[in-house]
Structure 1
Protein backbone atom coordinates (compact mmCIF):
# COMPACT_ATOMS: atom_id res chain seq x y z
CA UNK A 1 0.00 0.00 0.00
CA UNK A 2 1.38 3.46 -0.81
CA UNK A 3 2.29 5.62 2.14
CA UNK A 4 -0.97 7.07 3.40
CA UNK A 5 0.48 10.57 3.43
CA UNK A 6 1.06 10.34 -0.33
CA UNK A 7 -2.68 9.85 -0.76
CA UNK A 8 -3.91 12.27 1.90
CA UNK A 9 -1.85 15.33 0.98
CA UNK A 10 -3.01 15.62 -2.66
CA UNK A 11 -6.62 15.62 -1.44
CA UNK A 12 -5.97 18.63 0.75
CA UNK A 13 -3.81 20.30 -1.87
CA UNK A 14 -6.85 20.11 -4.16
CA UNK A 15 -8.94 21.65 -1.38
CA UNK A 16 -6.46 24.51 -1.17
CA UNK A 17 -6.78 25.08 -4.92
CA UNK A 18 -10.56 25.09 -4.57
CA UNK A 19 -10.32 27.52 -1.68
CA UNK A 20 -8.23 29.84 -3.84
CA UNK A 21 -10.81 29.61 -6.62
CA UNK A 22 -13.51 30.65 -4.19
CA UNK A 23 -11.54 33.46 -2.62
CA UNK A 24 -10.62 34.91 -6.00
CA UNK A 25 -14.21 34.57 -7.25
CA UNK A 26 -13.29 32.26 -10.09
CA UNK A 27 -16.25 30.20 -8.86
CA UNK A 28 -19.58 31.41 -7.51
CA UNK A 29 -21.80 29.69 -4.97
CA UNK A 30 -24.03 28.47 -7.78
CA UNK A 31 -21.06 26.91 -9.57
CA UNK A 32 -19.88 25.15 -6.43
CA UNK A 33 -23.37 23.83 -5.72
CA UNK A 34 -23.51 22.47 -9.26
CA UNK A 35 -20.11 20.80 -8.85
CA UNK A 36 -21.22 19.29 -5.54
CA UNK A 37 -24.35 17.89 -7.17
CA UNK A 38 -22.23 16.35 -9.92
CA UNK A 39 -20.09 14.67 -7.25
CA UNK A 40 -23.01 13.20 -5.30
CA UNK A 41 -25.23 12.27 -8.26
CA UNK A 42 -22.64 11.05 -10.79
CA UNK A 43 -18.98 10.79 -9.71
CA UNK A 44 -19.48 8.99 -6.37
CA UNK A 45 -22.10 6.52 -7.71
CA UNK A 46 -19.93 5.78 -10.76
CA UNK A 47 -16.87 5.05 -8.62
CA UNK A 48 -18.90 2.89 -6.22
CA UNK A 49 -20.48 0.94 -9.08
CA UNK A 50 -17.13 0.32 -10.75
CA UNK A 51 -15.44 -0.73 -7.50
CA UNK A 52 -18.24 -2.93 -6.15
CA UNK A 53 -18.91 -4.67 -9.46
CA UNK A 54 -15.25 -5.71 -9.62
CA UNK A 55 -14.61 -6.36 -5.92
CA UNK A 56 -13.76 -9.75 -4.45
CA UNK A 57 -16.73 -10.26 -2.14
CA UNK A 58 -15.79 -11.85 1.20
CA UNK A 59 -17.14 -15.27 2.14
CA UNK A 60 -18.40 -13.86 5.43
CA UNK A 61 -19.09 -10.42 6.78
CA UNK A 62 -16.69 -9.05 9.38
CA UNK A 63 -19.24 -8.03 12.00
CA UNK A 64 -16.46 -6.84 14.28
CA UNK A 65 -15.61 -4.25 11.64
CA UNK A 66 -19.07 -2.70 11.73
CA UNK A 67 -19.33 -2.98 15.50
CA UNK A 68 -15.93 -1.33 15.98
CA UNK A 69 -16.86 1.68 13.89
CA UNK A 70 -20.46 2.15 14.97
CA UNK A 71 -20.19 1.31 18.67
CA UNK A 72 -17.44 3.90 18.94
CA UNK A 73 -19.53 6.36 16.89
CA UNK A 74 -22.49 5.88 19.21
CA UNK A 75 -20.24 6.32 22.24
CA UNK A 76 -18.94 9.61 20.81
CA UNK A 77 -22.53 10.66 20.07
CA UNK A 78 -23.46 10.10 23.72
CA UNK A 79 -20.32 11.81 25.04
CA UNK A 80 -20.92 14.87 22.87
CA UNK A 81 -24.60 15.08 23.75
CA UNK A 82 -24.05 14.74 27.49
CA UNK A 83 -21.18 17.20 27.46
CA UNK A 84 -23.23 19.74 25.55
CA UNK A 85 -26.15 19.34 27.96
CA UNK A 86 -23.87 19.84 30.95
CA UNK A 87 -22.40 23.04 29.51
CA UNK A 88 -25.26 24.66 27.62
CA UNK A 89 -28.37 23.32 29.37
CA UNK A 90 -30.07 23.24 25.94
CA UNK A 91 -31.38 19.68 25.43
CA UNK A 92 -32.93 20.59 22.08
CA UNK A 93 -29.42 20.76 20.56
CA UNK A 94 -28.22 17.33 21.72
CA UNK A 95 -29.04 15.66 18.41
CA UNK A 96 -27.10 18.10 16.27
CA UNK A 97 -24.01 18.22 18.48
CA UNK A 98 -23.92 14.46 19.05
CA UNK A 99 -24.19 13.79 15.32
CA UNK A 100 -21.41 16.24 14.45
CA UNK A 101 -19.03 14.45 16.80
CA UNK A 102 -19.31 11.10 15.03
CA UNK A 103 -20.50 11.59 11.42
CA UNK A 104 -17.57 11.01 9.05
CA UNK A 105 -17.06 12.44 5.58
CA UNK A 106 -16.91 9.01 3.95
CA UNK A 107 -18.39 9.90 0.57
CA UNK A 108 -16.20 12.80 -0.51
CA UNK A 109 -12.94 11.89 1.25
CA UNK A 110 -13.21 8.34 2.58
CA UNK A 111 -14.12 6.55 -0.66
CA UNK A 112 -11.27 7.90 -2.83
CA UNK A 113 -8.86 7.60 0.11
CA UNK A 114 -9.65 3.93 0.76
CA UNK A 115 -9.76 2.90 -2.88
CA UNK A 116 -6.51 4.73 -3.55
CA UNK A 117 -4.82 3.06 -0.59
CA UNK A 118 -6.27 -0.44 -0.73
CA UNK A 119 -7.55 -0.85 -4.29
CA UNK A 120 -10.39 -3.32 -4.84
CA UNK A 121 -9.79 -4.83 -1.38
CA UNK A 122 -11.23 -1.66 0.15
CA UNK A 123 -14.42 -1.55 -1.93
CA UNK A 124 -16.63 -3.73 0.26
CA UNK A 125 -15.50 -2.30 3.63
CA UNK A 126 -16.01 1.34 2.57
CA UNK A 127 -19.31 0.45 0.86
CA UNK A 128 -20.65 -0.99 4.12
CA UNK A 129 -19.80 2.11 6.14
CA UNK A 130 -21.12 4.50 3.50
CA UNK A 131 -24.42 2.62 3.14
CA UNK A 132 -25.15 2.28 6.85
CA UNK A 133 -23.93 5.59 8.26
CA UNK A 134 -26.90 7.78 7.37
CA UNK A 135 -29.68 5.26 8.18
CA UNK A 136 -28.16 4.60 11.59
CA UNK A 137 -26.78 7.92 12.80
CA UNK A 138 -29.22 10.28 11.08
CA UNK A 139 -32.14 8.18 12.35
CA UNK A 140 -30.92 8.43 15.95
CA UNK A 141 -30.37 12.18 15.61
CA UNK A 142 -33.80 12.61 14.00
CA UNK A 143 -35.52 10.72 16.81
CA UNK A 144 -33.84 12.94 19.39
CA UNK A 145 -34.60 16.15 17.50
CA UNK A 146 -38.23 15.30 16.87
CA UNK A 147 -38.78 13.89 20.34
CA UNK A 148 -37.83 17.30 21.68
CA UNK A 149 -40.69 18.77 19.69
CA UNK A 150 -43.09 16.23 21.20
CA UNK A 151 -44.88 15.64 17.92
CA UNK A 152 -45.29 11.95 17.09
CA UNK A 153 -46.66 12.55 13.61
CA UNK A 154 -43.71 14.77 12.75
CA UNK A 155 -41.30 12.10 14.03
CA UNK A 156 -42.84 9.40 11.83
CA UNK A 157 -42.71 11.66 8.79
CA UNK A 158 -39.09 12.60 9.49
CA UNK A 159 -38.01 8.97 9.88
CA UNK A 160 -39.81 8.03 6.69
CA UNK A 161 -37.97 10.83 4.94
CA UNK A 162 -34.60 9.55 6.19
CA UNK A 163 -35.17 6.02 4.90
CA UNK A 164 -36.68 7.18 1.62
CA UNK A 165 -33.72 9.48 0.97
CA UNK A 166 -31.32 6.65 1.77
CA UNK A 167 -32.99 4.07 -0.44
CA UNK A 168 -33.36 6.45 -3.38
CA UNK A 169 -29.88 8.00 -3.16
CA UNK A 170 -27.69 7.53 -6.26
CA UNK A 171 -24.86 6.07 -4.15
CA UNK A 172 -27.03 3.31 -2.66
CA UNK A 173 -28.55 2.55 -6.07
CA UNK A 174 -25.06 2.28 -7.58
CA UNK A 175 -23.96 -0.10 -4.82
CA UNK A 176 -27.04 -2.27 -5.36
CA UNK A 177 -26.52 -2.46 -9.12
CA UNK A 178 -22.81 -3.10 -8.69
CA UNK A 179 -23.51 -5.97 -6.29
CA UNK A 180 -25.99 -7.49 -8.73
CA UNK A 181 -23.44 -7.32 -11.56
CA UNK A 182 -20.80 -8.87 -9.31
CA UNK A 183 -22.89 -11.65 -7.76
CA UNK A 184 -24.57 -12.80 -10.96
CA UNK A 185 -21.49 -12.15 -13.13
CA UNK A 186 -23.40 -10.09 -15.67
CA UNK A 187 -21.49 -9.31 -18.82
CA UNK A 188 -21.69 -5.61 -19.62
CA UNK A 189 -20.87 -3.88 -22.90
CA UNK A 190 -17.32 -2.45 -22.66
CA UNK A 191 -18.68 1.08 -22.96
CA UNK A 192 -20.41 0.79 -19.55
CA UNK A 193 -17.38 0.08 -17.33
CA UNK A 194 -15.27 2.45 -19.42
CA UNK A 195 -17.75 5.31 -18.99
CA UNK A 196 -18.37 4.73 -15.28
CA UNK A 197 -14.63 4.38 -14.74
CA UNK A 198 -13.93 7.74 -16.38
CA UNK A 199 -16.67 9.47 -14.39
CA UNK A 200 -15.55 7.81 -11.16
CA UNK A 201 -12.00 9.06 -11.62
CA UNK A 202 -13.31 12.61 -11.33
CA UNK A 203 -14.58 12.08 -7.76
CA UNK A 204 -11.33 12.92 -5.98
CA UNK A 205 -10.46 16.16 -7.80
CA UNK A 206 -14.04 17.44 -8.02
CA UNK A 207 -15.07 16.66 -4.44
CA UNK A 208 -11.86 18.05 -2.95
CA UNK A 209 -12.07 21.16 -5.10
CA UNK A 210 -15.72 21.72 -4.17
CA UNK A 211 -15.06 21.35 -0.43
CA UNK A 212 -12.28 23.93 -0.55
CA UNK A 213 -14.35 26.37 -2.61
CA UNK A 214 -17.36 26.01 -0.30
CA UNK A 215 -15.20 26.98 2.69
CA UNK A 216 -14.05 30.11 0.86
CA UNK A 217 -17.55 31.15 -0.21
CA UNK A 218 -19.46 30.18 2.92
CA UNK A 219 -19.88 32.18 6.10
CA UNK A 220 -18.64 30.24 9.11
CA UNK A 221 -19.49 31.68 12.49
CA UNK A 222 -19.51 29.99 15.85
CA UNK A 223 -17.88 29.74 19.24
CA UNK A 224 -14.37 28.34 19.03
CA UNK A 225 -14.59 26.34 22.26
CA UNK A 226 -17.48 24.03 21.26
CA UNK A 227 -16.03 23.64 17.77
CA UNK A 228 -12.68 22.52 19.19
CA UNK A 229 -14.43 19.95 21.40
CA UNK A 230 -16.37 18.56 18.43
CA UNK A 231 -13.19 18.42 16.38
CA UNK A 232 -11.39 16.47 19.12
CA UNK A 233 -14.32 14.08 19.45
CA UNK A 234 -14.31 13.37 15.73
CA UNK A 235 -10.57 13.27 15.01
CA UNK A 236 -9.24 11.83 18.29
CA UNK A 237 -11.90 10.08 20.37
CA UNK A 238 -13.74 8.33 17.55
CA UNK A 239 -10.64 6.75 15.95
CA UNK A 240 -9.14 5.93 19.36
CA UNK A 241 -12.24 4.01 20.44
CA UNK A 242 -12.44 2.31 17.06
CA UNK A 243 -8.77 1.30 17.34
CA UNK A 244 -9.39 -0.29 20.77
CA UNK A 245 -12.44 -2.22 19.57
CA UNK A 246 -11.06 -3.27 16.19
CA UNK A 247 -7.60 -4.43 17.26
CA UNK A 248 -7.97 -5.30 20.94
CA UNK A 249 -11.59 -6.39 21.40
CA UNK A 250 -12.79 -7.94 18.14
CA UNK A 251 -9.35 -8.63 16.67
CA UNK A 252 -10.48 -8.08 13.10
CA UNK A 253 -7.97 -8.77 10.31
CA UNK A 254 -6.37 -6.36 7.89
CA UNK A 255 -7.28 -4.50 5.78
CA UNK A 256 -10.62 -4.27 7.64
CA UNK A 257 -9.06 -3.02 10.88
CA UNK A 258 -6.97 -0.36 9.15
CA UNK A 259 -9.95 0.88 7.14
CA UNK A 260 -12.21 1.07 10.21
CA UNK A 261 -9.74 3.18 12.19
CA UNK A 262 -8.84 5.39 9.21
CA UNK A 263 -12.49 6.06 8.39
CA UNK A 264 -13.14 7.00 12.02
CA UNK A 265 -10.36 9.60 11.72
CA UNK A 266 -12.09 11.39 8.82
CA UNK A 267 -13.38 14.94 9.35
CA UNK A 268 -17.01 15.78 10.04
CA UNK A 269 -19.25 15.13 7.05
CA UNK A 270 -21.31 17.85 5.39
CA UNK A 271 -24.48 15.89 6.21
CA UNK A 272 -24.02 16.71 9.90
CA UNK A 273 -24.06 20.42 9.10
CA UNK A 274 -27.06 20.06 6.79
CA UNK A 275 -28.91 18.31 9.63
CA UNK A 276 -28.08 21.16 12.02
CA UNK A 277 -29.14 23.76 9.47
CA UNK A 278 -32.37 21.99 8.54
CA UNK A 279 -33.39 21.66 12.19
CA UNK A 280 -32.00 25.08 13.22
CA UNK A 281 -29.82 23.49 15.92
CA UNK A 282 -26.25 24.69 16.68
CA UNK A 283 -25.38 25.56 13.08
CA UNK A 284 -22.51 27.86 14.10
CA UNK A 285 -20.48 25.41 16.22
CA UNK A 286 -21.11 22.55 13.79
CA UNK A 287 -20.05 24.61 10.75
CA UNK A 288 -16.88 25.81 12.45
CA UNK A 289 -16.09 22.29 13.68
CA UNK A 290 -16.56 20.97 10.13
CA UNK A 291 -13.99 23.46 8.87
CA UNK A 292 -11.54 22.83 11.72
CA UNK A 293 -11.80 19.05 11.48
CA UNK A 294 -11.23 19.14 7.73
CA UNK A 295 -8.12 21.30 8.10
CA UNK A 296 -6.70 19.05 10.84
CA UNK A 297 -7.69 15.70 9.34
CA UNK A 298 -4.49 15.03 7.34
CA UNK A 299 -2.76 14.55 10.70
CA UNK A 300 -5.53 12.40 12.19
CA UNK A 301 -5.83 10.21 9.09
CA UNK A 302 -2.07 9.64 8.88
CA UNK A 303 -1.76 8.80 12.59
CA UNK A 304 -4.83 6.54 12.46
CA UNK A 305 -3.37 4.52 9.57
CA UNK A 306 -0.04 4.27 11.41
CA UNK A 307 -1.52 3.08 14.70
CA UNK A 308 -3.85 0.68 12.91
CA UNK A 309 -0.78 -1.17 11.73
CA UNK A 310 -0.74 -0.02 8.10
Structure 2
Protein backbone atom coordinates (compact mmCIF):
# COMPACT_ATOMS: atom_id res chain seq x y z
CA UNK A 1 0.00 0.00 0.00
CA UNK A 2 2.90 2.37 0.73
CA UNK A 3 3.97 2.16 -2.91
CA UNK A 4 0.48 3.06 -4.15
CA UNK A 5 -0.54 -0.42 -5.36
CA UNK A 6 -3.62 -1.17 -3.27
CA UNK A 7 -4.58 -4.30 -5.19
CA UNK A 8 -3.07 -6.03 -8.18
CA UNK A 9 -5.09 -9.07 -9.23
CA UNK A 10 -4.58 -11.36 -12.22
CA UNK A 11 -8.02 -12.88 -12.82
CA UNK A 12 -8.10 -16.65 -13.27
CA UNK A 13 -11.46 -16.74 -15.05
CA UNK A 14 -12.99 -18.90 -12.31
CA UNK A 15 -13.98 -16.23 -9.79
CA UNK A 16 -10.57 -15.91 -8.17
CA UNK A 17 -7.24 -14.33 -8.94
CA UNK A 18 -3.54 -14.14 -8.20
CA UNK A 19 -2.25 -11.18 -6.23
CA UNK A 20 0.62 -9.30 -7.88
CA UNK A 21 3.13 -6.79 -6.57
CA UNK A 22 4.74 -4.00 -8.62
CA UNK A 23 7.28 -6.44 -10.05
CA UNK A 24 4.52 -8.73 -11.28
CA UNK A 25 2.53 -5.79 -12.62
CA UNK A 26 5.47 -4.44 -14.62
CA UNK A 27 6.19 -7.87 -16.11
CA UNK A 28 2.54 -8.53 -17.04
CA UNK A 29 1.65 -9.30 -20.66
CA UNK A 30 -1.91 -9.48 -22.10
CA UNK A 31 -1.47 -13.17 -22.91
CA UNK A 32 -1.07 -13.93 -19.17
CA UNK A 33 -4.70 -13.07 -18.50
CA UNK A 34 -6.88 -10.13 -17.51
CA UNK A 35 -5.31 -7.81 -14.95
CA UNK A 36 -6.97 -5.44 -12.48
CA UNK A 37 -4.86 -2.72 -10.92
CA UNK A 38 -6.31 -0.69 -8.07
CA UNK A 39 -4.08 2.29 -7.26
CA UNK A 40 -3.81 5.22 -4.85
CA UNK A 41 -3.34 8.14 -7.24
CA UNK A 42 -1.87 10.40 -4.52
CA UNK A 43 1.32 8.28 -4.27
CA UNK A 44 4.32 9.45 -6.30
CA UNK A 45 5.20 5.96 -7.59
CA UNK A 46 1.73 5.64 -9.11
CA UNK A 47 2.06 8.95 -10.94
CA UNK A 48 5.45 7.94 -12.32
CA UNK A 49 4.18 4.55 -13.47
CA UNK A 50 1.06 5.97 -15.14
CA UNK A 51 2.98 8.60 -17.10
CA UNK A 52 6.13 6.66 -17.97
CA UNK A 53 5.57 2.90 -17.75
CA UNK A 54 1.85 2.18 -18.23
CA UNK A 55 1.81 2.93 -21.99
CA UNK A 56 -1.29 5.04 -21.46
CA UNK A 57 -2.13 8.18 -23.35
CA UNK A 58 -1.18 11.30 -21.40
CA UNK A 59 -4.79 12.54 -21.28
CA UNK A 60 -5.94 9.21 -19.84
CA UNK A 61 -3.18 9.25 -17.22
CA UNK A 62 -4.11 12.82 -16.24
CA UNK A 63 -7.75 11.83 -15.84
CA UNK A 64 -6.82 8.88 -13.63
CA UNK A 65 -4.80 11.26 -11.45
CA UNK A 66 -7.43 14.00 -11.27
CA UNK A 67 -8.38 14.96 -7.72
CA UNK A 68 -11.88 16.01 -8.81
CA UNK A 69 -13.94 14.05 -11.29
CA UNK A 70 -17.58 14.12 -12.25
CA UNK A 71 -19.25 10.75 -13.00
CA UNK A 72 -18.74 10.08 -16.70
CA UNK A 73 -18.42 7.47 -19.46
CA UNK A 74 -16.15 8.11 -22.43
CA UNK A 75 -15.59 5.60 -25.22
CA UNK A 76 -12.16 6.17 -26.79
CA UNK A 77 -10.35 4.38 -29.61
CA UNK A 78 -8.06 2.48 -27.27
CA UNK A 79 -10.48 1.80 -24.42
CA UNK A 80 -13.16 3.09 -22.08
CA UNK A 81 -12.67 5.85 -19.52
CA UNK A 82 -15.14 6.05 -16.64
CA UNK A 83 -15.57 7.85 -13.32
CA UNK A 84 -18.06 6.89 -10.61
CA UNK A 85 -18.88 7.94 -7.07
CA UNK A 86 -19.30 5.60 -4.11
CA UNK A 87 -20.66 6.10 -0.60
CA UNK A 88 -17.98 7.13 1.89
CA UNK A 89 -18.24 4.68 4.81
CA UNK A 90 -14.93 5.64 6.36
CA UNK A 91 -14.92 6.70 10.07
CA UNK A 92 -16.07 10.29 10.76
CA UNK A 93 -17.05 10.74 7.09
CA UNK A 94 -19.92 12.98 6.07
CA UNK A 95 -22.80 11.08 4.51
CA UNK A 96 -22.85 13.23 1.38
CA UNK A 97 -19.05 13.16 0.96
CA UNK A 98 -18.76 10.54 -1.78
CA UNK A 99 -15.54 8.85 -2.86
CA UNK A 100 -14.53 9.29 -6.50
CA UNK A 101 -13.10 6.34 -8.41
CA UNK A 102 -11.67 6.62 -11.93
CA UNK A 103 -11.43 3.64 -14.28
CA UNK A 104 -9.63 2.87 -17.51
CA UNK A 105 -10.59 -0.34 -19.32
CA UNK A 106 -8.48 -1.49 -22.25
CA UNK A 107 -7.70 -4.82 -23.83
CA UNK A 108 -6.79 -7.24 -21.04
CA UNK A 109 -6.41 -4.63 -18.30
CA UNK A 110 -8.47 -2.51 -15.92
CA UNK A 111 -6.89 0.36 -13.98
CA UNK A 112 -8.83 2.00 -11.15
CA UNK A 113 -7.59 4.90 -9.05
CA UNK A 114 -8.81 6.60 -5.88
CA UNK A 115 -7.41 8.13 -2.70
CA UNK A 116 -9.83 7.16 0.05
CA UNK A 117 -11.01 3.68 0.95
CA UNK A 118 -14.20 2.46 -0.75
CA UNK A 119 -16.15 -0.38 0.86
CA UNK A 120 -17.66 -1.57 -2.43
CA UNK A 121 -14.18 -2.24 -3.86
CA UNK A 122 -13.12 -4.10 -0.73
CA UNK A 123 -16.14 -6.38 -1.05
CA UNK A 124 -15.17 -7.26 -4.63
CA UNK A 125 -11.60 -8.04 -3.52
CA UNK A 126 -12.85 -10.23 -0.67
CA UNK A 127 -15.04 -12.16 -3.10
CA UNK A 128 -12.07 -12.69 -5.41
CA UNK A 129 -9.97 -13.92 -2.47
CA UNK A 130 -12.66 -16.53 -1.69
CA UNK A 131 -12.93 -17.62 -5.33
CA UNK A 132 -16.48 -16.28 -5.67
CA UNK A 133 -15.69 -13.03 -7.44
CA UNK A 134 -16.07 -11.82 -11.02
CA UNK A 135 -14.54 -13.95 -13.77
CA UNK A 136 -13.87 -11.22 -16.33
CA UNK A 137 -13.07 -7.51 -16.37
CA UNK A 138 -16.55 -6.75 -17.73
CA UNK A 139 -18.16 -8.72 -14.91
CA UNK A 140 -15.84 -6.97 -12.45
CA UNK A 141 -16.99 -3.51 -13.58
CA UNK A 142 -20.65 -4.50 -13.40
CA UNK A 143 -20.10 -6.02 -9.94
CA UNK A 144 -18.45 -2.81 -8.74
CA UNK A 145 -21.32 -0.71 -10.12
CA UNK A 146 -23.86 -3.04 -8.51
CA UNK A 147 -22.27 -2.83 -5.05
CA UNK A 148 -21.86 0.96 -5.26
CA UNK A 149 -25.51 1.44 -6.19
CA UNK A 150 -26.61 -0.85 -3.35
CA UNK A 151 -24.67 1.32 -0.91
CA UNK A 152 -26.27 4.42 -2.44
CA UNK A 153 -29.71 2.86 -2.00
CA UNK A 154 -28.98 2.11 1.67
CA UNK A 155 -27.85 5.70 2.18
CA UNK A 156 -31.05 7.02 0.57
CA UNK A 157 -33.09 4.72 2.84
CA UNK A 158 -31.27 6.26 5.80
CA UNK A 159 -32.20 9.73 4.56
CA UNK A 160 -35.83 8.61 4.25
CA UNK A 161 -35.87 7.35 7.87
CA UNK A 162 -34.36 10.62 9.10
CA UNK A 163 -36.91 12.59 7.11
CA UNK A 164 -39.82 10.58 8.56
CA UNK A 165 -38.51 11.14 12.08
CA UNK A 166 -38.17 14.89 11.51
CA UNK A 167 -41.68 15.07 10.08
CA UNK A 168 -43.05 13.34 13.19
CA UNK A 169 -41.15 15.68 15.49
CA UNK A 170 -42.42 18.73 13.61
CA UNK A 171 -46.01 17.51 14.02
CA UNK A 172 -45.60 16.61 17.69
CA UNK A 173 -43.63 19.59 18.92
CA UNK A 174 -42.30 22.89 17.65
CA UNK A 175 -38.58 23.03 18.32
CA UNK A 176 -36.33 25.71 16.90
CA UNK A 177 -33.44 23.19 16.59
CA UNK A 178 -35.48 21.23 14.03
CA UNK A 179 -34.94 24.03 11.55
CA UNK A 180 -31.17 23.48 11.48
CA UNK A 181 -31.60 19.68 11.34
CA UNK A 182 -33.90 20.01 8.34
CA UNK A 183 -31.45 22.34 6.63
CA UNK A 184 -28.60 19.85 7.14
CA UNK A 185 -30.67 16.95 5.78
CA UNK A 186 -31.80 18.99 2.81
CA UNK A 187 -28.20 19.98 2.04
CA UNK A 188 -27.09 16.34 2.20
CA UNK A 189 -29.88 15.26 -0.14
CA UNK A 190 -29.09 17.99 -2.65
CA UNK A 191 -25.36 17.20 -2.51
CA UNK A 192 -25.95 13.48 -3.06
CA UNK A 193 -28.36 14.14 -5.90
CA UNK A 194 -25.69 16.28 -7.59
CA UNK A 195 -23.53 13.17 -7.95
CA UNK A 196 -26.21 10.55 -8.56
CA UNK A 197 -27.69 12.33 -11.59
CA UNK A 198 -24.49 12.21 -13.68
CA UNK A 199 -23.75 8.71 -12.37
CA UNK A 200 -27.05 7.45 -13.72
CA UNK A 201 -26.24 8.95 -17.11
CA UNK A 202 -22.78 7.34 -17.06
CA UNK A 203 -24.17 3.92 -16.13
CA UNK A 204 -26.92 4.22 -18.71
CA UNK A 205 -24.35 5.02 -21.38
CA UNK A 206 -22.28 2.06 -20.20
CA UNK A 207 -25.29 -0.26 -20.48
CA UNK A 208 -26.22 0.70 -24.05
CA UNK A 209 -22.77 0.89 -25.64
CA UNK A 210 -21.88 -2.05 -27.89
CA UNK A 211 -18.82 -3.35 -26.07
CA UNK A 212 -17.58 -6.73 -27.25
CA UNK A 213 -16.08 -7.55 -23.86
CA UNK A 214 -19.41 -7.16 -22.03
CA UNK A 215 -21.46 -10.37 -21.85
CA UNK A 216 -25.22 -10.49 -22.21
CA UNK A 217 -25.71 -11.45 -18.54
CA UNK A 218 -23.56 -8.48 -17.56
CA UNK A 219 -25.75 -6.18 -19.65
CA UNK A 220 -28.90 -7.50 -17.96
CA UNK A 221 -27.44 -6.91 -14.50
CA UNK A 222 -26.18 -3.49 -15.57
CA UNK A 223 -29.68 -2.49 -16.69
CA UNK A 224 -30.97 -3.52 -13.25
CA UNK A 225 -28.26 -1.36 -11.70
CA UNK A 226 -29.41 1.57 -13.85
CA UNK A 227 -33.01 0.99 -12.73
CA UNK A 228 -31.96 1.01 -9.07
CA UNK A 229 -29.91 4.16 -9.35
CA UNK A 230 -32.83 5.78 -11.19
CA UNK A 231 -35.16 4.88 -8.32
CA UNK A 232 -32.63 6.24 -5.84
CA UNK A 233 -32.50 9.50 -7.80
CA UNK A 234 -36.30 9.72 -7.83
CA UNK A 235 -36.42 9.08 -4.07
CA UNK A 236 -33.88 11.84 -3.54
CA UNK A 237 -36.09 14.21 -5.50
CA UNK A 238 -39.07 13.22 -3.35
CA UNK A 239 -36.98 13.69 -0.19
CA UNK A 240 -35.96 17.14 -1.32
CA UNK A 241 -39.61 18.11 -1.83
CA UNK A 242 -40.58 16.58 1.54
CA UNK A 243 -37.81 18.53 3.23
CA UNK A 244 -39.03 21.75 1.61
CA UNK A 245 -42.65 21.11 2.63
CA UNK A 246 -41.63 20.13 6.17
CA UNK A 247 -39.44 23.21 6.48
CA UNK A 248 -42.35 25.41 5.38
CA UNK A 249 -44.65 23.67 7.85
CA UNK A 250 -42.11 24.14 10.63
CA UNK A 251 -41.73 27.81 9.75
CA UNK A 252 -45.52 28.25 9.81
CA UNK A 253 -45.78 26.52 13.17
CA UNK A 254 -42.95 28.63 14.57
CA UNK A 255 -44.66 31.77 13.28
CA UNK A 256 -47.94 30.63 14.79
CA UNK A 257 -46.23 29.96 18.12
CA UNK A 258 -44.63 33.40 18.08
CA UNK A 259 -47.96 35.00 17.17
CA UNK A 260 -49.64 33.22 20.09
CA UNK A 261 -46.99 34.51 22.45
CA UNK A 262 -47.32 38.02 21.08
CA UNK A 263 -51.08 37.75 21.46
CA UNK A 264 -50.76 36.82 25.14
CA UNK A 265 -48.36 39.69 25.70
CA UNK A 266 -50.76 42.05 23.94
CA UNK A 267 -53.64 40.95 26.20
CA UNK A 268 -51.49 41.44 29.29
CA UNK A 269 -50.42 44.86 28.03
CA UNK A 270 -54.03 45.83 27.32
CA UNK A 271 -55.01 44.83 30.87
CA UNK A 272 -52.24 46.68 32.64
CA UNK A 273 -52.19 49.76 30.44
CA UNK A 274 -55.09 51.57 32.18
CA UNK A 275 -53.86 50.31 35.55
CA UNK A 276 -50.44 51.76 34.88
CA UNK A 277 -52.00 55.03 33.76
CA UNK A 278 -54.06 55.36 36.93
CA UNK A 279 -51.24 54.45 39.30
CA UNK A 280 -48.91 56.81 37.47
CA UNK A 281 -51.46 59.59 37.56
CA UNK A 282 -52.14 59.23 41.27
CA UNK A 283 -48.48 58.77 42.09
CA UNK A 284 -47.37 62.25 41.09
CA UNK A 285 -45.97 64.23 44.00
CA UNK A 286 -48.18 67.34 43.84
CA UNK A 287 -50.95 68.67 45.97
CA UNK A 288 -54.60 67.96 45.37
CA UNK A 289 -54.38 64.17 44.97
CA UNK A 290 -57.88 62.74 45.69
CA UNK A 291 -58.10 60.74 48.91
CA UNK A 292 -54.76 61.95 50.25
CA UNK A 293 -56.31 62.62 53.67
CA UNK A 294 -58.67 59.60 53.69
CA UNK A 295 -57.16 56.47 55.39
CA UNK A 296 -59.50 54.19 53.38
CA UNK A 297 -58.65 55.73 49.99
CA UNK A 298 -55.97 53.15 49.17
CA UNK A 299 -58.40 50.26 49.73
CA UNK A 300 -61.01 51.98 47.54
CA UNK A 301 -58.35 52.54 44.88
CA UNK A 302 -57.36 48.84 44.87
CA UNK A 303 -61.02 47.86 44.68
CA UNK A 304 -61.43 50.17 41.71
CA UNK A 305 -58.46 48.57 39.95
CA UNK A 306 -59.95 45.10 40.50
CA UNK A 307 -63.27 46.27 39.09
CA UNK A 308 -61.49 47.70 36.02
CA UNK A 309 -59.68 44.37 35.48
CA UNK A 310 -62.96 42.42 35.74
CA UNK A 311 -64.67 44.77 33.30
CA UNK A 312 -61.76 44.42 30.89
CA UNK A 313 -61.91 40.63 31.05
CA UNK A 314 -65.66 40.71 30.41
CA UNK A 315 -65.12 43.03 27.44
CA UNK A 316 -62.33 40.83 25.98
CA UNK A 317 -64.43 37.72 26.40
CA UNK A 318 -67.43 39.40 24.73
CA UNK A 319 -65.23 40.50 21.82
CA UNK A 320 -63.82 36.93 21.68
CA UNK A 321 -60.26 38.13 22.03
CA UNK A 322 -59.46 35.01 24.03
What's the TM-score bracket when you normalise by the shorter of the two chains? under 0.3
**So what's the TM-score if we normalise by structure 1?**
0.26
**So what's the TM-score if we normalise by structure 2?**
0.25
Q: Which has the higher contact order (CA 8 A, sep 6+)?
A: 1
- Whichever structure has more strand as a proportion of its residues is 2
